[in-house]
């Protein structure tokens, strides 16, 4: 059975306790900017942090309010249930839609329409934009107009994958919280989400030093869904499996994460060989081919076939 890591359903906050406390302290002192950018690697819990902060705000005068001592959302809380059902009147969500390469301007325009309507209560309204790095030119320009002069009691929480760039024109308008987890902390958080040791699921060879808890849990979910025993498979064997079975094209998570796995494989090669020049050359060629695939919207099949032939099968 899959391990659910949907941010809006995570009742326990792991690893980012001090960040939540900072947000709450600023909010309670009326010193919090109404434009917040949570920036950090994908999968470390930025969106989960945002939902815990949101629940703290909305549950203050409700039954079953937020437990700040243990960083827990009460599942009986009214606001949590409304968010779970995507029906909270004071929250508007924008995210990258499935099979879309960018956040469309129509999504931002719908949010602007929501923001310009009168609120039926005195509570703040929050706009949560996940994967903000995927705003295209038109959607970014539309967003900039409203964040420049937002309506009263309207807050923007933007979630940014720090491995990808966003324009300074947006970043400069926000207070930026840079979030990160150490390797040991990432493993600790992952173990808490799993309820057991990650090495009961994965060969240590498969764990990238920079992998986030979300990425590690998604790898485990992938293995469960496809009946793959990742305790008995090496990094090379895993990559061959992903390429030979075309998981890079048919699995949403692997489509993105395979490049992290390949980077990890190159890193391991560099550590194991004395002839590093050839590895650097192959790595640079792979990066260039990947760039061309993105730029010219090319099929990735040739990229992975060459990677398998020239590197994995050597």
Please report which confidence band the pLDDT of residue 99 belongs to, taking 50, 70 and 90 as the band edges.
confident
**Start-to-end C-alpha separation, the chain:** 37
What's the confidence (pLDDT) of residue 274? 80
CA–CA gap between residue 127 and residue 114 (Å, rounded): 10
Strand order in the sheet with 35-40: 91-94, 125-129, 154-161, 35-40, 175-178
**3-state DSSP call for residue 32?**
coil
What's the confidence (pLDDT) of residue 314? 62
CA–CA gap between residue 134 and residue 103 (Å, rounded): 6
pLDDT digits over 13-31, tens only? 999 999 999 999 999 999 9
Mean pLDDT of 214-240: 94
Mean pLDDT of 227-250: 94
This prediction has a pTM of 0.94
Q: DSSP secondary structure string, 33-55?
A: -SEEEEEE-TTSSHHHHHHHHHH
The more confidently predicted of residues 132 and 295 is 132
Residue 299 has pLDDT above 90, yes or no: no
- 235-244 vs 252-272: helix crossing angle, rounded to 10: 140
Residue 3: both structure tokens together? 């391990």
pLDDT digits over 246-257, tens only? 999 999 899 989
Strands 175-178 and 35-40, by their bridges, are: parallel
Bridge partners for 178 per DSSP: 39
What's the confidence (pLDDT) of residue 297? 84
Residue 108: both structure tokens together? 């931002």
What's the confidence (pLDDT) of residue 170? 94
Mean pLDDT of 63-77: 98
- How distant, in Å, are the alpha carbons of 85, 150, 193 from that of 81? 6, 27, 21
What's the confidence (pLDDT) of residue 107? 96
Mean pLDDT of 204-231: 93
What's the confidence (pLDDT) of residue 221? 95
What's the confidence (pLDDT) of residue 117? 84
**Sign of the dihedral defined by the CA atoms of residues 306, 230, 44, 47, in that order:** positive
CA–CA gap between residue 153 and residue 90 (Å, rounded): 11
Mean pLDDT of 223-239: 94
């Amino acid at each position: 059975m899959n391990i659910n890591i949907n941010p809006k359903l995570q009742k326990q906050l792991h690893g980012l306790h001090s960040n939540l406390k900072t947000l709450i302290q600023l909010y309670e002192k009326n010193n919090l900017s109404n434009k917040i950018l949570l920036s950090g690697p994908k999968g470390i819990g930025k969106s989960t942090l945002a939902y815990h902060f949101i629940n703290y705000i909305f549950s203050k005068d409700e039954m079953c309010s937020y437990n700040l001592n243990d960083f827990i959302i009460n599942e009986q809380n009214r606001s949590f249930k409304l968010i779970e059902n995507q029906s909270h009147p004071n929250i508007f969500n924008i995210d990258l839609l499935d099979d879309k390469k960018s956040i469309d301007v129509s999504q931002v325009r719908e949010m602007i329409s929501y923001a310009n309507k009168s609120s039926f209560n005195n509570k703040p309204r929050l706009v949560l934009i996940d994967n903000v790095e995927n705003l295209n030119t038109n959607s970014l320009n539309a967003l900039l107009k409203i964040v420049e002069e937002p309506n009263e009691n309207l807050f923007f929480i933007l979630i940014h994958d720090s491995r990808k760039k966003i324009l300074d024109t947006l970043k400069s308008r926000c207070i930026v919280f840079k979030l990160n987890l150490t390797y040991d902390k990432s493993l600790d958080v992952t173990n808490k989400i799993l309820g057991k040791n990650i090495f009961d699921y994965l060969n240590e060879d498969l764990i990238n030093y920079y992998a986030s808890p979300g990425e590690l849990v998604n790898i485990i979910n992938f293995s469960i869904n496809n009946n793959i025993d990742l305790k008995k498979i090496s990094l090379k064997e895993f990559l061959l499996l992903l390429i030979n079975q075309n998981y890079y094209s048919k699995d949403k998570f692997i489509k993105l994460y395979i490049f992290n796995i390949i980077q990890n494989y190159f890193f391991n090669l560099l550590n194991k060989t004395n002839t590093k020049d050839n590895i650097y050359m192959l790595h640079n060629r792979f990066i260039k081919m990947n760039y061309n695939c993105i730029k010219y919207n090319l099929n990735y099949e040739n990229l992975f076939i060459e990677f398998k032939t020239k590197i994995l099968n050597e």
